[in-house]
Structure 1
Amino acid sequence: MKSPYESLIHLVVFLTNLRIVATGRWIIFIIAATICGAVTYFQNLVSYNYIAPQTGQHLTCTTDLVGNPDIFSVYVTDGRIAEMAREKLCSDQIIKRQYSEVKITIGQSDYDTFRYINHGVVDLALVKSNVVDAFGADQIYGLTEIASHPDYSAFFIALRERPELNKEYLLGKRIGLLDYPSSRSGHIVPKTIMQNLGLSDSNVDIIYYSSHQELRRALLAGDIDIISSYWAEDDNKKFSRNYATPLQESVSGMKWYLKMQTQNTDLFCAMQSVVHDIAMSHPRPYYKTITLEEGCN
Structure 2
Amino acid sequence: MKLHHKSLIHLVVFLTDFRIITHCKWYILAVAALICSVVGYVKNSSAYHDIPPQTGQLLTCKTGLDENNDVFLAYITDVRIAYMVNERLCSDATIKRQYNAINVIIGQSDYDTFRYINHGVADLALVKKNIVDAFGADQIYGLTKVAAHPDYSAFFISLREKPQLTKEYILGKRIGLLDYPSSRSGHIVPKTVLHELGLTDSNVDIVYYSSHKELRRALLAGEIDIISTYWAQEDSEKFSKNYAAPLLESVSGMQWYLKMQTKNTDLFCAVQSVINDIATTHPRPYYRNISLVEGCKK
TM-score, normalised by the number of residues in structure 1: 0.75
Contact persistence 1:70–1:99 (CA under 8 A): yes
Task: Give the Cα–Cα distance (whole angstroms) in 1 for the partners of residues 249 and 218 of structure 2.
Answer: 24
Task: Give the Cα–Cα distance (whole angstroms) in 2 for the partners of residues 177 and 156 of structure 1.
Answer: 10
Contact persistence 1:172–1:203 (CA under 8 A): yes
Residue identity opposite 1:108 in structure 2: Q
SS of corresponding position for 1:66 = coil
SS of corresponding position for 1:116 = helix
How many corresponding residue pairs? 261
Query: Which residue does 1:204 correspond to in 2?
Result: 205
Task: Give the Cα–Cα distance (whole angstroms) in 2 for the partners of residues 242 and 277 of structure 1.
Answer: 34
Q: Which has more radius of gyration?
A: 1
Contact persistence 2:212–2:229 (CA under 8 A): no
Query: Which residue does 2:122 correspond to in 1?
Result: 122
Query: Which residue does 1:153 correspond to in 2?
Result: 153
Residue identity opposite 2:288 in structure 1: K
Contact persistence 1:116–1:122 (CA under 8 A): yes
Give the 5 Å matches for 1:186-225. Answer: 186-194=186-194, 197-200=198-201, 203-204=204-205, 206=207, 208=209, 210-212=211-213, 215-216=215-216, 219=219, 224-225=224-225
Deviates more, 1:241-250 or 1:87-96: 241-250
> Cα deviation per residue 1:243-273 (whole Å; 9 max; x = unaligned)?
3222222211111011112221111111011
Q: Mark the CA change 1:137 to 1:220 in structure 2 (over 3 Å): closer, same or farther.
A: closer
Task: Give the Cα–Cα distance (whole angstroms) in 1 for the partners of residues 134 and 206 of structure 2.
Answer: 34
> Cα deviation per residue 1:149-179 (whole Å; 9 max; x = unaligned)?
1111110023443212233312332434456
Contact persistence 2:164–2:245 (CA under 8 A): yes
Query: Which residue does 1:184 correspond to in 2?
Result: 184
**Structure 1 unaligned regions, length at least 5:** 1-35
Contact persistence 1:172–1:205 (CA under 8 A): no
SS of corresponding position for 1:84 = helix
CA RMSD of aligned residues (A): 3.1
Contact persistence 2:154–2:251 (CA under 8 A): yes
> Cα deviation per residue 1:159-217 (whole Å; 9 max; x = unaligned)?
443212233312332434456555432344334544664343884263747444x6456
Residue identity opposite 2:134 in structure 1: A
> Cα deviation per residue 1:14-52 (whole Å; 9 max; x = unaligned)?
xxxxxxxxxxxxxxxxxxxxxx99x85872353344455
Per-residue deviation at 1:223? 5.8
Query: Which residue does 2:274 correspond to in 1?
Result: 274
**Pair 1:166-2:166 in alignment:** yes
**Pair 1:66-2:66 in alignment:** yes
Q: Mark the CA change 1:97 to 1:89 in structure 2 (over 3 Å): closer, same or farther.
A: same
Q: Mark the CA change 1:137 to 1:224 in structure 2 (over 3 Å): closer, same or farther.
A: closer
Q: Mark the CA change 1:67 to 1:224 in structure 2 (over 3 Å): closer, same or farther.
A: same
Deviates more, 1:56-65 or 1:223-232: 223-232
Q: Mark the CA change 1:104 to 1:236 in structure 2 (over 3 Å): closer, same or farther.
A: closer
Contact persistence 1:153–1:185 (CA under 8 A): yes
Task: Give the Cα–Cα distance (whole angstroms) in 1 for the partners of residues 99 and 211 of structure 2.
Answer: 34
Q: Mark the CA change 1:120 to 1:100 in structure 2 (over 3 Å): closer, same or farther.
A: same
**Structure 2 unaligned regions, length at least 5:** 1-35
Query: Which residue does 2:244 correspond to in 1?
Result: 244
TM-score, normalised by the number of residues in structure 2: 0.75
Query: Which residue does 1:29 correspond to in 2?
Result: none
SS of corresponding position for 1:200 = coil
Contact persistence 2:115–2:121 (CA under 8 A): no
